[in-house]
Structure formats: structure tokens, C-alpha cells
Chains A and B, each alone.
Chain A
Amino acid sequence: MIDVKHLTKWYGRVLAVDDISFRVEKGMIVGFLGPNGAGKSTTLKILTCYIPASSGKVAISGYDVLSQSLEVRRHVGYMPENVPLYPEMRVEELLTFRAALRDIPSRERAAVVQRVAERCWLSVPEDMMRRRIGELSRGYKQRLGLAEALLHNPPVLVLDEPTIGLDPNQIRAMRELIQQLGEDHTIILSSHILAEVEQTCNHIMVIAAGKIVADGTPEALRKKVLGPSQVLAEVRGAKSRELVSAFQGLDGVRGVDGSAVGGWTRLTLQCDGKADRRAEVHRLVSEKGWQLRELRHTGGSLEDFFVQVTYEQNMQAAQRMAE
């Protein structure tokens, strides 16, 4: 669906996107993650034909963004960051206007507008569609931006920071909507909120300092986190010090911290590598006849991965700048 080869973009002397290549297949919901200034928006703007690349090839649904720009635009629905809208227009007016721009014949326009309005929860309560856009809440405006992008039922949706500036309720609403849309459209969305991306997307790409530093499913990426994992357990049955030394002796455990919580001891075991030591912990607890009320394995959260991978890239970029 989206095929990017050796995409590079210079803004004057600043290299915003540095020779990136990736493919997005049909049915994926791709989260495009990266720190601010990494090149996310730039890449998305190139995909939607808003700005041209400095070099490289980008094709969407087989159409080249440079030579077949109009075709690409017919196949893509784009929601820019900060959803720009015309504040003096009414909701229904705007959607009808954009439906006309999208070559939807006049007799079908009203039905299409109704369809996307329902899909994006814009038409409740009844009179919302007649209100001026300038008066509406941020959450509503962002759903409106999304509705705009859906009018012509494009196979590909490009969303630049779709949940930015929304409150938790609105974020959840948007997330549900995107997941539903994922069933019928291929989606690429950008964000710097990891939790969002983890929950909404089935594929993640991380971009930092203009380069793609990760490209895979969330599970695959989590496994790549370097560094020790941890097991957290809350145990009762012996004095804290005894518990700590008992667990210290376990295979693969590098260090144990314990703290008293009520009558229980909260233990944090630093483990080697990524091995999951929970089974051993449980075995030890049952052998000794202790009580266990929480057992968790943490290690390789996506956040750790993100920080590691973007840190390296930022350091390299800083070095390059200094040269």
C-alpha cells in the first residue's frame, strides 16, 4: 500500500529525513513514533503530496507521489497536525464542500456526509452539524478532521498526531474510532505518546534524527530492549532480610531489593538478560511455604526501548553536527 524507498528530505541545510525506506501493507495500523523534530510530520507530508522529497521514491497504492500526485491524493485521506479548519463555516457546510472537492457527485454528497458524521460521532446531538466550527471543542474538531479524511473512503489514512491536545476521554474515543477504522482502511499515524501507539497499533516504526531505528510489531520490539529485566513479587512468611537473601540465591538473579509494605515484603529482583524468572520465584515460595500475592515480570517496556533507541540516534546526530 505504502512503499517508501530511500526517502531523503533537506530543508535548506538541515537534513530532516535521512534515506529511510519502509513498506506498509494492507490492513496494518502503523504507529509512527519519534521524538519531536525527528522527521515524522515531514515524512507524512511527503506521503500525502504536500511537500516534495529531495530524493527517493514514494508510492501509494502503486501511484508515485511525484508523477501521479492527483491519483495519490484520491487514494489518501490526510489529517494534518492541529487539524486546520475554516472557523466561520458550519460543520455540515465544510463536509459538503470537501465532498465536492473530492469529486463526490452532488446527489450522493448528503448521504456521504451523513455516513462519515455518524462514523465519527459528529451528529449527536442533532444540531451539532449546524454549528460554526469556531465554537466547537477540540475533541470534536479532531473528529471532524478525521471525518474529512474519510469522505472519499480512501484505502489509506494518514493521521498526524490524531490525539494531540485531547483529554483522556477524548483520547479513548479517538483510539476506539481508529481501531474500528483499521478494519477497513490501512492507517499510518504519528505520535510521541507511546501508550497510545502501543494500544492502537499493530505495527510500530520509530524514527529519530531522520532515520528509522525500529520497524516491527510491539511484541518484537519489546524483546529487543537491552538490559536486565525485573521480577516484582510481594511475599509474606519470613523476615524481609531472610526473604531477600533467599531470593538472592536464585539462578540468574543479580540483585534483590526488599521493602516492607504492611505485613508483606515487596521484592524487586534484578535478573540477567530477559529470562523470565517468575517460575523459579513461585517454586521457591511454595517450597518454603510462604505466601505470594503479586508476581510480575517487567522488562522491556516499549518506553525503555524508545528511550534507548532514540538516545543512540540523537547522540550520533549530535556528533555529526559537531563535525
Chain B
Amino acid sequence: MRKALTLARRELTGYFVSPIAYVIGAGFLMLSAGWFFLNLRMGGEASLRPLFDGMAVLMVLAVPLLTMGLLSKEFDSGTIETLMTTPVTDTEVILGKFLGVILFYLVLLASTVLLMGPILIYGRPDFGVAAMGYLGMVLLGAAYVSVGIFASTLTRHQIVAAIVAIGILAFFVVLMGVVVRVGRWPWTLLASHLNVMAYFKDFSRGVLDTRGVVYFVSATALFLFLSVKTLESRRWR
């Protein structure tokens, strides 16, 4: 798996020299922080929860934009050809891409720790809750990224990859929440098990529910698996 790390490093440096990543990252952080401060003013509670909840939704847009080029750009520019004719397996390629993006995402996430500053000064935050919240963000991020990668393996057009990823994420993050509230049985039951925000809310409240962990980890594994298979299948046409 050392090759996956080599690939990850290349992706990561690619992100740091690309204006796209900075713009998306900056936009994401600005909107998240804005939402957080807005809530802080209104609620006055010394917690990072509105930040996490806000980010979880904003990521439905931001992550697909970050991941859209991962495979799509390689298909479009033809660099996939030089990549796939080196002795790397499809799994190593997908894992490498995944690790590269996740590391960038973790850097973005780490920068939000600065937002704890004002809370520390003016309030008494619960660090355990904050830690859980960040754990939830990491798991959520991994799942979102794997969806984004999968969408990217489907097409050479980055925009299409972004839209497909946003669609899939919106389905699980937003639509399921709506179905739970206004739907009929048995759809509400199904939706309640697939509702991302429900699982995430536990984390942002500081509760470690292993069902949430299992949900996000298996979602990540599923979409990474699908990505590897889609990449393999491209060679059989």
C-alpha cells in the first residue's frame, strides 16, 4: 500500500498548488464560520454544535467540488493512461486519491479549531463534546469524500461528477430527513435508518453512538468499493 501513499502525496500537493482547492476551502470555511457566529449571537450557548451542523450541510456542496476532478480530470486529460500502465492496482489508485483528499479535508477541519478561541475566552466549553463533534466530522467527511470519488469515476466531465455527488449526498442528507418527517410508513422507517443528519446529530451533541460509526464507516467502504469496481470496469469496454 505504499503506492497509495505516494499517490496520496501527489494529490495533496496538487491541492495545495491549485487555486480551486483554496477557493472552495476558503468559501466553505467562511460560510461555516458565518453560520456559527450567527447562531452564537442568537443562542448564546458555548458550544461548537452549530458549527458542526452547519458544516455537515455545507459539505454536501463543498466536498463534491473538491473531489470532482479526482478521476474525471485524469480521464479527460488522458493521464489515466500513463497511470494505469504503471504497476499499480485499481485499489491503490482509489485509496491514494481518497487519502489525499481526506488529508486536505483534515487540514480544513483543523483550521476550524480556531473558532473555539472566542468560546474559550467567553465561556466554558465541554471539550469532550467538541472532540465527539470533530470525530463525527471526520467520519462524515470520509463518507462524503468516498461518494465524491465514486461520482468522479463515472465520467470524464468534472461538472457531471460534482452534480452526481451532490445529488447522492443530498438524497441521504436532506431528502431522508424530509421523508422521516412527512412520509408514510414503511418509507419513514427506511429513511430513519439512512438519515445522515440523525446519526450526525449524536456526534455533534457529544454522544458516541456506535451505530453512527458503523453507518459512516460502511458507507465509506461501500462507495470506495464501488469506485474501485467502476475503475476496473472502464478497462473492460
Taking Cβ atoms with an 8 Å cutoff, the residues of A that contact B are 45, 48-52, 70-71, 73-74, 76, 78, 80, 82, 84-86, 88-89, 93, 97-98, 100-103, 148
Contact = CB atoms under 8 A, between A and B. Distances in A.
B18 A80 contact: no
Main secondary structure of the interface of B (DSSP, over half): helix
A76 B17 contact: no
Interface residues of B, number: 22
A224 B106 CA distance: 67
Nearest to A78: B85
Contacts, number: 59
24 contacts: A49-B84, A49-B85, A50-B85, A52-B235, A70-B89, A71-B87, A73-B85, A73-B86, A78-B82, A80-B81, A80-B85, A84-B82, A86-B14, A88-B14, A88-B17, A89-B14, A93-B13, A97-B6, A100-B3, A100-B6, A101-B3, A101-B7, A101-B88, A103-B87
Given A78-B82, A84-B77, A84-B82, A102 B235 contact: no
Given A84-B82, A93-B13, A148-B82, 17 more contacts: A50-B81, A50-B85, A52-B235, A70-B89, A71-B87, A73-B86, A78-B81, A85-B79, A85-B82, A89-B14, A97-B10, A98-B86, A100-B3, A101-B6, A101-B86, A102-B86, A102-B87
B78 interface: yes
Nearest to A11: B237
Given A48-B85, A70-B89, A80 B78 contact: yes
Contacts of B88: 101
Contacts of B3: 100-101
A93 B6 CA distance: 12
B122 interface: no
Contact of A88 (B18, B84, B89): B18
A52 B237 CA distance: 8
B236 interface: yes
A80 B79 CA distance: 9
Nearest to B78: A84
Nearest to B88: A101
Contacts of B83: 101
Nearest to A88: B17
A86 B79 contact: yes
Nearest to A82: B78
A50 B234 CA distance: 10
A84 B83 CA distance: 10
A50 B78 contact: no
Given A101-B86, A102-B86, A102-B87, A84 B235 contact: no
Contact of B87 (A73, A85, A86, A93): A73
Looking at B13, B79, B81, B88, the one whose CB has the most chain A CB atoms below 10 A away is: B81
Contacts of A45: 81
A269 B236 CA distance: 56
Contacts of A49: 84-85
